Amino acid sequence: MSEYALNPKSRFIFITGGVVSSLGKGLASASLAAVLQARGYKVRLRKLDPYLNVDPGTMNPCQHGEVFVTDDGTEADLDLGHYERFSGVPAKKTDSVTTGKIYQRVIEKERRGFYLGSTIQVIPHVTNEIKEFILSDITDEDFVLCEIGGTVGDIEGQPYLEAIRQVAYELGRDRTMFIHVTLLPYIPTAGELKTKPTQHSVKKLQEYGIQPDMILCRTQVPIPENEKRKLALFCNVKEENVITAMDAASIYQVPLAYSGEGMDRQVCKHFNLPYNQPTDLSKWEHIINILKSPEGEVRIAVVGKYMMLLEAYKSLHEALIHGGIANKYKVKIKWVDSEQLEKEDASNILNDVSAILVPGGFGERGTLGMINAIKYAREYKIPFLGICFGMQMAVIETMRNICGIKNAGTTELDENCEPVIGLMTEWDKDGAKQIRHKDGDLGGTMRLGAYFCDLKPGSKAAQIYGTDKISERHRHRYEVNIKYKDMLNKAGMIVTGLSPDGNLPEIVELQDHPWFIGVQFHPELKSRPFEPHPLFVSFVKAAIDNSRLV
C-alpha cells in the first residue's frame, strides 16, 4: 500500500470495545490522545462507525445523540466532539467514516469499472476501503488513534476488525497497538469484580486474529492485584497493561486518571519510545481545580426537545461547563422539556434559573414551549441565548408578540405561515453558488460547516468576539428572511451578524435587554476547555451577574 511509504513515522492505535456498549471509548481515545500530546507527540483521532447510515445526519438525536459538525461540513459522530475538545485538533472529513460511506464508495467504484471485472466482496474490497480510510490524509502525526464503534462480536463490526488486523500485519506490530476497552461488573452481594465477560470478549477478539496489547477496564471500584494478574494471564496481556479506568466525577479528570494508572507510559513502552519522564498535565490539573472548588454556582435552563437523551446536547453541555470554568463558576444545567412549557406557566418552571438557552432542533413538537420560554426571558430581562432553531424561535417570538404578526412562523413547520423563517435554496460557499431543491435528499444537504459572518461594529456580538469577522459552524436548512430585517429592527431586534454577501442574518440581538442573543450557527461545536467559546463565557457571566441581582 503506497500510503505507508508516505508516512513511515505514524503509529496506529486501534481502540475496540467489549462486553457492553456506552463504555466511553470515545472519551478514552480522546484522553489517551491528550496525554500523548502532553508528552509532546502530534496526534490525530478517527472514528469508524459500523452502522449503515452514510453519516448520522439523518438520525434522530434521541437515538444517536448529537450530530457533530466539522469545519469542512462533515456531519459526524459526537465522539469527534470529544476528540476536538480534548486534543484541540480540528477534525476533518477524513476522520469519520461509516459502513454506509464505505459501501457507497465501493459501489461507486464498481459502477465506474474500477475493479476491472472482479467479483466485489467484503474481503478484500470493503476491507481495503476501510484500510484506505485509516491510512489516508496523514502527514506528520506521531499517533493516529482509530476508534472502532460498537462492541466486539457485532456482525457489522467484523470487516473493521479484519481491516485493522491486516493493517497491523502489514505495518508491523511495532507500529500498531490494540487497546480493548471493557467493563468489569461489580456484584455487590458477592463483593466481587467479575473478569469473565472481559475474558470472553478478548477471546472473541482473538478469534478475529487480534491480540489486544492493553485492556482498559471500566470499573466502579479499584481492581485487586490478583484480579489484574488473572486478567493479564487469561487475556495474554502484560500485567502493567491492564489499566484501571474508574468512573470519574468529571470527564476532564479522565486524562489525569488514565495517566496516573500508567496508560501513556505503557503505550510509549509498547512503541519503544522514551517512557520514564513524567507527563506534564498541569493544564488539566488547573481546570480540575476550578471544577472542584468554584467560586460559586449558577443555574441555567436549557429548554429543548430531546430531553430523553441528553447526549443530544453533548457539545452544548460542555460549552456551558467551559463558560463556567472561564468564570471560575460551576454551571448547573436545568434541563427543561419544552413541551412542559406548553402545559405550565413559564414562571413556575423558570423562576429558579439565572439564564435561559434554547438550543437547535428540528420539527414542530415543543416549539410553542420554546417560544413561551423566550417570551419569558425577554419580558423578565433574563439572559437568553438562542442557538440555530432557538434563534429562529426568538425571531418568531418578536414578530408575533412585538410586531403583532400572529401567524409569523417558519415554513419548516407551516407552509401557510408568514414566512419569517424560510427554506434556503441558494447560498454562497467560498464564492460558489450552492443550490438545493425543495424535494431533494435530506442527507448531507443542509448549509453545513464553517462560514464567515460579518459583525456589526459596536454590537454586543462584536464586543464579545473582539473582532468584526468570525467563522462559525452551521447546520441548518432554514434561515431568517432578510426582508424582515427592518421590521425586526423597529421592534428592537437588531441583526448584528450577516453572511458576507449580506443575505443571511446570522446573529440577532435585542436592544432593550441586558443579554439577549440569537445565533444561526452552533458556537458550542467550537468551544474547548482550554479555549472556551467567547459567547458562552459572556453568557455565563451574564447569568452570574443576573444571579447576583436576585
Helix 389-401, helix 367-379: angle, nearest 10: 70
Tell me how far apart the alpha carbons of residues 310 and 359 are, in angstroms, rounded to a whole number.
12
Q: Are 370 and 387 in contact (CB under 8 A)?
A: no
**475 counts as binding ligand GLN under rule CB under 6 A:** yes
Answer yes or no: 388 catalytic. Answer: yes
The candidate with the shortest Cα–Cα distance to 215, out of 191, 197, 192, is 197
**Residue with the three cell numbers 467504484:** 109
Interaction mask 383-422, ligand GLN, x per CB under 6 A: -----xx----------------------x----------
Which of 363, 423, 368 minimizes the C-alpha distance to 401?
Answer: 368
Stretch in the footprint of ligand GLN (CB under 6 A) among 263-271, 284-292, 296-304, 360-368: 360-368
Q: Closest-CB residue for ligand GLN?
A: 360
Look up residue 522 and give its amino acid.
H
Q: Which of 84, 147, 506, 524 is an active site residue?
A: 524
Q: Interacting stretch for ligand GLN, rule CB under 6 A, among 7-15, 355-363, 368-376, 460-468?
A: 355-363
- Is 522 marked active-site? yes
Percentages helix, strand, coil for the chain, rounded to the nearest 5? 40, 25, 35
Question: Contact between 477 and ligand GLN (CB under 6 A)?
Answer: yes
User: Which of these segments, 150-158, 450-458, 472-480, 485-493, binds ligand GLN (CB under 6 A)?
Assistant: 472-480
User: Do strands 493-498 and 505-510 pair parallel, antiparallel, or not at all (unpaired)?
Assistant: antiparallel
Q: Cβ of residue 312: shortest distance to ligand GLN, in angstroms? A: 11
| Nearest CB to ligand GLN, comparing residues 55 and 412 | 412
- Residue 469 CB: number of other CB atoms within 10 A? 11
d(CA 42, CA 33): 9
Q: Pick between residue 326 and residue 395 the one whose CB is nearest to ligand GLN.
A: 395
**For ligand GLN, the closer CB: 275 or 362:** 362
Which of 388, 397, 412, 476 is catalytic? The answer is 388
Residue 275: name the closest of 241, 230, 235 by CA.
241
* Alpha-carbon gap, residue 355 to 383, rounded angstroms: 5
Min dist CB 458 to ligand GLN, Å, is 28
Number of residues binding to ligand GLN, judged by CB under 6 A: 10
C-alpha neighbours within 13 Å on the C-beta side of residue 144: 30
| Residue 476 touches ligand GLN, criterion: CB under 6 A | yes
Question: Quick one: how far is CA 306 from the chain centroid?
Answer: 16
Q: Out of 64, 474, 522, 533, which one is annotated catalytic?
A: 522
In the bound state with ligand GLN, the residue whose beta carbon lies nearer, of 129 and 397, is 397
Pick the binder of ligand GLN from 65, 150, 157, 360 (CB under 6 A): 360
Q: Quote the cell numbers at residue 549.
A: 441581582
82 assigned to active site: no
CA atoms within 13 A on the CB side of 214: 30
Write each residue from 420 to 459 as x if it is in contact with ligand GLN (CB under 6 A), else as -, in one continuous string: ----------------------------------------
CB of 128 to ligand GLN, least distance (A): 36
> What is the distance between the alpha carbons of residues 376 and 355, in angstroms, rounded to a whole number?
11
Residue 520 CB, nearest approach to ligand GLN (Å): 8
CA distance 537 to 331: 11
The least CB distance from residue 100 to ligand GLN, in Å, is: 21
Residue 216: in which H helix or E strand, if any? Answer: strand 214-219
Pairing assessment for the beta strands 516-519 and 505-510 based on DSSP bridges: antiparallel
Asked if 334 and 300 count as a contact pair (C-beta separation under 8 A), the reply is yes
List binders of ligand GLN among 361-390 (CB under 6 A). 361-362, 388-389
**Minimum distance, C-beta of residue 166 to ligand GLN, in the bound complex (Å):** 39
Q: Which CB atom, from 82 or from 474, has the smaller least distance to ligand GLN? A: 474
Residue 307 DSSP class: T
Among 313, 478, 516, 539, binds ligand GLN (CB under 6 A): 478
Tell me, rounded to whole angstroms, the distance of Cα 337 from its chain centroid. 21
Rounded least distance, CB 473 to ligand GLN, Å: 10
Q: Which residues bind ligand GLN (CB under 6 A)?
A: 360-362, 388-389, 412, 475-478
Catalytic residue numbers, as ranges: 388, 522, 524
